[in-house]
Structure 1
Amino acid sequence: MPAARRRVTQQDIARMTGVSQATVSLVLNGRSDADVRIAPETRERVLDAIRTTGYVADPIARRLAAQHNRIIGVFTYEPVFPAELGNFYHPFLVGIEECAERIGCDLLLVTSAPVVDGRRRMFHESNRLRLADGCVLLGQWLDPADLARLMDDGLPFVSVGRRDDAGGPVPYVGADYPGATAELVRRAAGLGHRRIAYVGTGSGPESQADRMRGFTSAVAEARIDGRHLPIDGRDPDEVLDQLLGERRTCVFVEEFADGVALAERAAVRGLRVPDDLSLVALGDPTRPATTDLAMTGFRIPRREMGVQAVEVLSALLEGVPTVTQRLLTCEPVEGTTLAATRD
């Protein structure tokens, strides 16, 4: 037997089982050479030696001897590691860790990927994703080309957040932004708001496009005037001027912090929320925003999305039938910033 402190090698396995190192390599790679037929009993003898010696501690050997490394990769294009308690991504990571621990898997946080043009690159020459059985993709934006390559390469993955097809159906666990947004529009319409606005990008990542889709469909259903006001590069005062000029009585903000900024500028002008202007936040803050207002809106089920993403990935790895595209219900937040219009 090799010394206790020395890592077991393929040569050690070959000596123990009376086969060549090439045969051990073929067994580890789960295949047979065209000129070498490995007898079932020989293959099993090699695998038994791997298990006995602890050679399965090597990630590749573990994958081939036990089918899975019990390692789940977590990749993001955005710098979310580590995440403080108040960070938007923290609940997602808590859910991912919680479920991984429950099913007996380790997490591999892929933080060494090089940054090109301000974003991490998933595929590069020292890519370590292959050490994992599969990966959870986390972040607001994912490269469609990378999704397509993951599918082509056959590496199991699940996205936290709905993703459009990339050469095939993408497994995801997302939030039902269209449903949550539409419900708030219906509520505003029921309170008498006939001229409302959506402030935000309304396009780009699926999470933003989905909110806009829910807003547009509900506005049409309620037969009210709903206007999209892009905010990128615009001063809050400029946006507020347009809202007041068009006599918008209720504002749906894609980003919580933009709602806070509009409320602050309204207060400077002597306007009160919600008496003079109602505000609705479509989700949790993704960037710091301090306010005393209890903003009406909804919460994203972030921890549960992380949990279920790992559950879906585990089912894919084990070949267990499961729903691979899930939208979870957002939690309504009553708040105090939406009231009946006085218009």
Structure 2
Amino acid sequence: MSDAASRRITQRDIARLAGVSQTTVSLVLNNRPGDETRIPRETRDRVLSVIRETGYVADPVARRLADRHNRILGVFTYEPVFPSATADFYHPFLVGIEECAERLGCDLLLLTSVPVIDGRRRIYHEANRLRLADGCVLLGRSLDRDELARLVSENFPFVSVGRRDDAGGPVPYVGTAYGPAVRALVERARALGHTRLAYLGHGEGAESLADRMVGFREGAGDLPVRHVRPTAGGPAEWLDALEGVTVVFAEEYADAVALVDEAFGRGLSVPADLSIVTLGDPTRPARTDIDFTGFRIPRREMGRQAIQVLTRLLEGGPLVQRLLPCELVVGSTLSGPAA
């Protein structure tokens, strides 16, 4: 038991040590009227013995949830995540969600019955089973504002992973502080002597993109900047549009990889001839050995905290809008401009 005691004991640990299911452990812990007839006395005694030996203490949030809810938390993804080109991007979010749900003794309901049409799902669809869950975590690059407004108006408990603008009222979320992270990178480039800056990306639409652009413009201050939008012309066209620029901030990691390949193909050196900074983790496949300067998104922690915020909502707690800091990566693709 000493190894298990070195960290927080979970219901899954108790179930494994007692040789029973996690549901059985939950029933023993909750001790509701009638449950004693569903579990043999020998099994109940074995579970209680393991609980005593490990010193397990039920999470107080989990106990309060058990008193009033069925402890099923929904997870709705606007884009498919199993399997898809974005699976690697979404995986850390899901890991964090699962870890926190397990600690609280909650089950997760992945809402997949709604068909994917044009790469998107809709919450309100005839096949949706949203109401089977006590509340729901929403995942997606951009969420449907009408559906968010309906969730808000119906007072259905939910939390968005990612900052969202108001939709008929405040939207609870755990997001990323993109603006400060981008601003810090731009300020670092300026400190190295860069004065000819460019932004490669849309910089609008989804809140995460708009927030990046805000940070970029704040960091650039009164410097003239160039905005190059990804087009069908691809990296060759982008690089042409970046002529004269000494540092480019790429909204999409994969676009940065493509731009580096194009630069190398023209005999340019990165960062000696052109510095390239990435503004987040890959959202689509991008193979490279380059250690980009940029930042990482705290995806796993966002998933964990989304569950925490949701359970507090279910307890009657306040609506929370929380932004987590990014982890800056020094990398090797940003240096001072060529003389």
Aligned CA distance change for structure 1 residues 168 and 278 (closer, same or farther; 3 Å): same
Moved more, 232-241 or 174-183: 232-241
2:292 corresponds in structure 1 to: 295
Counterpart residue number, 2:12? none
SS at match of 2:89: coil
In the TM superposition, what are the counterparts of 1:169-248 in structure 2 within 5 Å?
169-220=170-221, 223-244=222-243, 247-248=244-245
Q: Distance in 2 between matches of 1:135 and 1:51?
A: 31
Aligned counterparts, 1:1-343, within 5 A: 66-81=67-82, 87-220=88-221, 223-244=222-243, 247-321=244-318, 324-343=320-339
Which of structures 1 and 2 has the bigger CA Rg?
Answer: 1
Compared CA separation, residues 71 and 86, structure 1 to 2 (3 A): closer
Kindly indicate whether the alpha-carbon contact (under 8 Å) linking 1:84 and 1:90 is maintained by their aligned counterparts in 2: no
SS of alignment partner, residue 242 of structure 2: helix
Superposed CA deviations along residues 264-301 of structure 1, whole A, max 9, x for unmatched, are 11111110000000000001111111112110000000
How far, CA to CA, are the matches of 2:86 and 2:152 in structure 1? 33
Q: CA deviation at 1:206?
A: 0.6
Distance 1:83 1:311, change over 3 A: farther
Could you say if the C-alpha distance between residues 263 and 184 of structure 1 is closer, same or farther in structure 2, counting changes exceeding 3 Å?
A: same
Alpha-carbon deviation of 1:86? 7.0
Give CA deviations for 1:169-221 in whole Å, capped at 9, x if unaligned.
1000001000000000000000110011000011111111110110011111x
Q: Is the 8 A contact 1:80 1:89 kept in 2?
A: yes
Distance 1:92 1:331 in 2: 16
Q: Deviations over 1:70-106 (max 9, x none)?
A: 0000001100135799701100000000000011100
How many residues of Structure 1 are paired with residues of Structure 2 in the alignment? 283
Contiguous gaps of at least 5 residues in structure 1: 1-46, 55-63
CA distance in 1, matches of 2:84, 2:104: 23
For the residues of structure 1 that align with 2:139 and 2:87, how far apart are their CA atoms? 17
Question: Please, what TM-score do these two structures have when normalized by structure 2?
Answer: 0.79
C-alpha distance in structure 2 between counterparts of 1:163 and 1:255, whole Å: 20
Q: Is contact 2:271–2:335 with CA below 8 Å preserved after alignment?
A: yes
Q: Are residues 167 and 100 of structure 1, via their aligned partners in 2, closer, same or farther at CA, if it must alter by over 3 Å?
A: same
Residues 159, 309 of structure 1: 8 Å contact kept = yes
CA distance in 1, matches of 2:295, 2:212: 12
1:165 CA displacement:
0.2
Q: Which residue of 2 aligns with 1:60?
A: none
Using a 3 Å threshold, how does the CA distance of structure 1 residues 90 and 271 change in structure 2: closer, same or farther? Answer: same
Give the partner amino acid of 1:198. Y
The letter for the 2-side match of 1:264 is: D
Superposition RMSD on alpha carbons, in Å? 2.2
Percent of pairs with identical residues: 63
Q: What residue ranges of structure 2 are gaps of 5+ in the alignment?
A: 1-31, 40-64
Residues 198-255 of structure 1 show CA distances to partners (whole Å, capped at 9, x for unaligned) of 00011111111110110011111xx3222111113232111101111xx100000000
Report if the CA contact (8 A) 2:79-2:116 is conserved: no
Q: Match of 1:32?
A: none
> Residues of 2 paired with 1:85 and 1:287: CA distance?
5
Distance in structure 1 (CA, Å) of the matches to 2:122 and 2:135:
17
SS, match of residue 295 in structure 2: strand
